[in-house]
Each structure stands twice: as structure tokens, then as C-alpha cells.
Chains A and B, each alone.
Chain A
Amino acid sequence: MATIIEKGQDAVSSQIEVEALVTGCEAIAEAIRLADVDVMAAYPIRPYDGVMQAAAKLIADGKMDVEYIVADGEHSQFEIVKHACAVGARVFVGSSGVGWFYAMEAIAVTGGLRLPVVAICGNRALDDPGAFGTEHNDSLAVRDLGWLMPWAETAQESLDLALMAWRVGEDKRVSLPVAIGLDGAFLTHSQTIVKIPTQDAVNKFLPKYDLGNRLLHPDNPITIAPQVDQDWLMEIRRQNDAAMRRAQDVIREAHADFKRLFGRGGDNPFLDEYMTDDAEYVFFGQGTLALPMKVAIRRLRAQGHKVGLVRLKWFRPFPTADIVKSLLRFKAIGVIDRDYSFGSPNYGGVLYHEVRSALYSQPKRPVVLSFIAGLGGREIDQNMATQIFEKTKQAAEKGSLDQGDTCTWIGVRE
């Protein structure tokens, strides 16, 4: 068993992996320290602000050396790191909910510029009304903009994915920004035991940031993002697409390395399967909602139900091949979305539509159900899990769904 350090105790000089009782936000701050980030830009909004506070404390305590710029708003915050990234700085940034949206202009162009900004989106419902519980629509708004999008389940995975984010995003074959999804409150503000790797191990995993001949520097006179017209943009988008496609293999490589060095991360970089070996039907989702669903699965298993869970770890690039291979083994898939797409086909969640689309070209497909649950940070309790289970099981047995019965809101007051 690893050494547990008290809060405030020094993990910096440790030659062995230590454990600490930290929140998801504090775990991210540890990752910022270990990655030797050069520039981070901050502007407070809950739940992301936990990271800026934790990072500020590390700096104040002399444990971390990073240019920490407090911006005048999220737009500036994301612009600052975008530009810092172009001149060769490893960067970190983050926001939540409507703050994330206020930065959208900068966020929208960062993918096309191919600048490996690493951000967290502390997932938060979109105001109005002033709501701060978790909901995934803030992150998902950038799903088509060329950002890599992993989603964490635990504080440990937050730290691990952050280290992965710099490694994958900065890889020359990829060179894309990364937006890590972290569920507000349940993950960002809950302290759990987290393994903090040693600097030596991280250095082995994470090479120095090197933009090569794309570095904006007086010795390398280049113009980044000149105005272009219709003669150029399709080619730029196609380059972006090729990078996103290459990211799949780079994630696999990084995941294998991570597992070798730190012994964590599971078998598949993209999917975390739970009790699926003999499962007939599964729940599917991302983030912390996997936690109550795993509890439900153990309870239902005890009653003899062959149910499991597949948790998605990377929403972009969407691991279609892995998902097809995994999900075709089951009769029914209950996709649980902590988000919603108003007026979408079948009036369902975003993740549901992605899963359904990924399976469409298969000759024989499982039944796919959409469940909307936990919006605005509402807890997903065992009663809700049971409802999801019953409906999914029923669909598996019947092999189909009634017309207009594809999406169910769970735990909403009538």
C-alpha cells in the first residue's frame, strides 16, 4: 500500500508514488504541477474554480512554477492560453457552463489552429436559471469543433486523463486541443484517495512540448491564421479531420504506455466495461453516473439479472469500431444521457444519438434506448436505476421498441 500523505504535505519531492485525499479539481492541479505547465489562465466559475484555487495554492506554497494569469473573463482566458500555446508554452485552462460558452469564440478556433490547449470543462448546467449542478451540454457544445474530449469518472481518472491529454494533444500527429469533462460536485468537489505519481515517472510518460517549425518565434517567421476565403477552408478542415482520425491510434499508444508506467487505465483506452462478460443488456454512459449504475448492477446481479455497464471514456474521437465490437454482444443498450438535445431525432440525448448512429450500418443491431437522467446535477438514485433497468430489460426481451417510446425521462416530476 502506498504512503498516504496529509493535505498540504509535500508530494513534490517524493521518490515513490504517494496517495492523497483530494478532490477532482485538486487532482487536476497535481497534474498541472507534474506536467510542468508553463502558462495557465484563470477566471472563476463553479465548479471549475476548484482547480484555479488548488493551483494557486500550489504556487503560493512554492510547489509549482507556472505563469498564472487571472483573465478579465473566460474569453480572454482561452485567448491567452491559445496564444501562449503558439509560442511554445505548455498550457492549461478551464471553465464551466456558461463561462465555457463565453469563451466559445476562442474555443471554436483553437481546433482549426491545431494548438494543443488542455482544458477542463467542469460540467455545469447552462444558466438561466442560475444552476450549477452537473450537466454535459456545456462540454458537448464543442463536440464538432476539433477538440479531443475525454470524460472522467473519478478524481484518479481526472489526473490520469489530464496527463494523457498533454501527451496525446501535443503529439505532432495530432496537435489538437483537449477538453476533459469533469462532473461538477460529484467529481470536482468530492475528495477521494488519489495516487499521485512521481515526477520521474511522469517525465518518462510525457515528453517536452515541441511545436517544431510551427513555433511562433522571431527566428521562425510565420503567420498563423491569415484571413482565408472559400479557396482554403475545406483543405484546413480536412487537415483537422485527418488529425482527429490519427488521434485514435495515438490514444491507444499513450494508453498502453500509461498502463505500463503507472499500472492503471483498464484494458481499453476508450471504454470501461463492468460486468459485461455474460451480460444480455447494458447501460451506457459517461462520467460519474457510472457510479450509481454500478451499484445497481451489483444489486441486480444478486437477483440474477444479466446486466452490465459500458462507460465511454473518450467522446471525441468517438471510438466507433470499439463501440460496435463491444455493443453488438448485447440485446439492448440503455444509453443514459446527462444532457439533452432539444428537437433532435427521437427527442433523445446526444450520446444516445451517437451510439445509435455508430451501430446503424450493422446488419443486426441491438435495441438502443435513450434515458435522460440527472439533469442539472440531480442525483441518480437506485429507484431511477431500477426504472432504467426494467425498461432496458423489457426491450431486450421484446427485441424492439414501440413507436415513439425511444426516450424516457427518469426522475422527473410529472
Chain B
Amino acid sequence: MATTEKTATVAVKPGEERLVSIEVVYRGIFQKTLAQRICRGVVLASRRRNYTGTAFARYGDSPERNGVPAKQFAVVAPTDLELEAGMAKYEPAVVDVSVAVDDTLVKGIESWAWYGRQPIWKPVRDNGFVLVTSNSTPDELVQQTDKAERPYTLAVVPGGASFAGLWVYKDDHTDYRVLGALARLLPDWLPIEDVKASIRESTKDEARVVSVQFGYDNVRTREVKKGEGTDAHEKLQFEKPGWTKMREGIIVEARKPGERNPFYKKYTARTLRPVVNFDTCIKCTMCWLDCPDECFEVTPSGHYEVVYEACIGCGICAQVCPVKDCIVMVDELKFTDNTDKFVLYDKQPDAYRQWFTEMTGLPAIGSDKPAATGGD
């Protein structure tokens, strides 16, 4: 495979003085503090050379829901006057960098704040950046991002999806690594020395500065051309009706029994996906009963298949399943589609078993004895 990975990209005119917007896309609640630290870090570092700025969370994401994609922003500008163009907004229409602090977000995001699923690069300007914290390579991630409508640079800073800042979770310096990576991508606006100096201003912990340098040194980039990426993701977009077309009295159609919400599907909240071993399933109904989102449908054979469009990947089904390795939670990035899988099992059981093993790393036909502990 031809790779266009490069160590750094400077896609901005040196010395250009203008308003710069950065967004951080994150998992609601879990990564809220992390996102806030990154955005504040950008604004505070910009103060080193007398830039001014604002950091804010998207109002419509609040109150945040566990894992539902949310956004925070940092907008910096040379003067207060220029900053005004970035103020009094819920979110910038165009950003220079979109930072995803969980790599499963590259599959697209559906939030509380608007309707439909957005590609991760949607607000990124021409030749802007998508910066992802990931242990995958840029090439692997491109295959999971929506087909690009304009060129951008995909950058990866090493690291997993961090919970740093969430209650008891230990600080793992993800924020500093991301700031270091941003300094590499935007050397004219966020010089590495400014980032380091602003951190030294507030702490004596030199390890944080080391993490900034690590992020700076280890960010990998790959130019993504128009048309690169996948078109396997669902196009979930809606036109909003005008007041003459809306029902009067603040009324919307309720969902009928058995009908799923076509306007809000929730699956972009998922980081792990339940995969079912239909061979070992004992049809006990536990997954169907305990799923908080009623994702399971009963098949004619009495199995329970997951409707992935409705699944947020909470893992409760895997926890309550009494059969060992019957429902397995698998990294969402491994999947390129979102379709229910029972039909495949029904028509081509061997193909399904092969797929199961490929995804879970487990033998397809396992023990049908319930686990002694009732699942672990």
C-alpha cells in the first residue's frame, strides 16, 4: 500500500495573523475534563505572544450523556476585535484542526446538539487537520473515515482513548501530548516554546513538558486527498422544516410500537460492539431483557440479534449473558459496516463463523455449558 505519511505538515502561511479555531471531539462525560484542558491549554499558550482567545463547550451537548460525542472549542485571535468573529457562537462553522481524543470517533459523530451523523472532518477547512489520539496508523484510520470532500491532513498522536481528569482516573498526559502535536501542526500559531512556557508557568512538573515534546516528536501525518476514505457509513442527514410546514403546538410524531427512531440512532456513542456467537447462544432472553436500548430483535429461530443502529455498546448484554464468550465486546474500529448479522448466520453459517473468529479472535463453535460464575 502506498503511504504518504510524513512527519509534519505546515499547511498555513508562515507569519499569517488570523483567527484560528480548534475543536476537540470527545466522549461525553468521560473525556469532558480532558477536552477542557486541551482547549484551555491552547488559549493560555497563545497568550504568550499576546494572542487573545476563548474556550467553550458546545452548549447543546449539555447535559452530556455517557460516551455520546461532544465538542469543545478553542478560538484564538491576534486581537479582541478579530476574536469577536469567533464569539457568540455555539460552535465555529470552520475549524483549522479537529482533534478526536478517541479514535472510534473517526467513524463519524452524532450528537445531542444537532441532527444526523457528521463525518469527523466536516468543519475542517481545506487543507486543515484531523488529529487523532490512536494506536492505529493514519492509513488504518483513513479507511474508517468518511470519503473526503476536500483535502486535509490526518495526524495521529500515539495513545489510547484517555479518561484523564475523570474523577479517580490518573492523569496520563494525553492533554500535553495533544498540545505538543498541535504545536507541530501549527508552528506559526502555537509555537512549541509557548506551549512549554505556559505549562511551566502553572506547574513545576517537568514531566508535563516532556510529554509535550513527546507529542511534538511523535505525531505522524498523512495527507488525505479528496475522495479518499470510506463510503460505507450511513448518510444520516435531515432537512429541517420551516414554520409553515411544522405541526402546530410543538408536536412531533411519536414512535409507534416496534418502530425505531429514524432521526436519532445513537450508535456513534459506541466504542465496543457486541458480537454474538449464535452457535453457543442458549436463547435465554437475558440480553433481550436487560438491554437498556432494546437493541435485540428475536429471530424466527429464537435467537437474539443485535440491531447495531440502536446499540451504544454499553456492554450490559455481554455482562448478563450466562454463556462464556457468547456475546463478545469488540473494538468498534474493526468493523466497516453497521448491519445486523443474523441473516449471514442463517444463510451461510460457515461464513458467519469465520467472521466471528476474525472479529473476536475466538473459536466460533465454543462450549455450550453456562459459565460457572454466571458470566464474568
Contact = CB atoms under 8 A, between A and B. Distances in A.
A242 B60 CA distance: 28
B252 A235 contact: no
A69 interface: no
Interface in A96-145: 112-115
B90 A243 contact: no
Given A229-B60, A235-B243, A221 B254 contact: yes
A226 interface: yes
A222 B252 contact: yes
Contacts of A175: 248-249
Contacts of B242: 235
A243 B248 CA distance: 10
B236 interface: no
Contacts, number: 55
Given A221-B256, A229-B113, A231-B114, A239 B248 contact: yes
Given A229-B113, A231-B114, A235-B243, A115 B252 contact: no
B2 interface: no
Interface residues of B, number: 20
B347 interface: no
B245 to A, nearest CB: 9
Nearest to B259: A221
B170 interface: no
A113 B243 CA distance: 14
B89 to A, nearest CB: 11
Nearest to B60: A229
A224 interface: yes
Interface in A312-326: none
Contacts of A225: 250
B253 interface: yes
Contact of B248 (A114, A221, A232, A234): A114
Contacts of A223: 251-254
A214 interface: yes
B28 to A, nearest CB: 16
B246 interface: yes
B13 interface: no
Contact of B249 (A113, A229, A230, A234): A113
Nearest to A233: B250
Contacts of A231: 114-115, 240
Nearest to A231: B240
Nearest to A227: B112
Interface in A228-268: 228-232, 234-236, 238-239, 242-243
A236 B244 CA distance: 10
A113 B249 CA distance: 5
A235 B251 contact: no
A239 B114 CA distance: 22
A175 B247 CA distance: 13
Given A229-B60, A229-B113, A230-B90, A236 B253 contact: no
Contacts of A229: 60, 113
Given A229-B113, A235-B243, A239-B243, A113 B250 contact: yes
B307 to A, nearest CB: 21
B251 A214 contact: yes
A214 B243 contact: no
Nearest to A216: B251
A112 B90 CA distance: 24
B11 to A, nearest CB: 32
A interface secondary structure, majority: mixed
Contact of A214 (B113, B246, B248): B248
Contact of B253 (A222, A228, A242): A222
B250 A112 contact: yes
A239 B253 contact: no
Interface string A53-67: 000000000000000
B254 A239 contact: no
Interface string A269-284: 0000000000000000
B70 to A, nearest CB: 14
Contacts of B113: 229
A311 to B, nearest CB: 33
Nearest to B249: A114
Nearest to B256: A221
A236 B249 CA distance: 8
Contacts of A234: 243
B59 to A, nearest CB: 8
Contacts of B249: 113-115, 175, 214, 224
Nearest to A112: B250
A175 B241 CA distance: 21
Nearest to B240: A231
Contacts of B255: 221
Interface in B241-284: 241-243, 246-256
Interface string A164-177: 00000000000100
A170 B113 CA distance: 35
A65 B115 CA distance: 47
Interface string B66-107: 000000000000000000000000100000000000000000
A240 B166 CA distance: 44
A112 B246 CA distance: 13
A213 to B, nearest CB: 8
Given A221-B256, A235-B243, A228 B114 contact: no
A224 B250 contact: yes
Contacts of B247: 214
Considering the complex of A and B, which 4 residue pairs feature the smallest CB-CB distances, nearest first?
A221-B254, A235-B243, A114-B249, A238-B243
18 contacts: A112-B250, A175-B249, A214-B249, A221-B255, A221-B256, A222-B252, A224-B250, A224-B251, A229-B113, A230-B60, A231-B114, A231-B115, A232-B240, A235-B242, A236-B246, A239-B246, A242-B243, A243-B248
Given A223-B253, A226-B250, A232-B240, 9 more contacts: A113-B249, A113-B250, A214-B248, A214-B249, A221-B253, A226-B252, A232-B246, A236-B250, A243-B248
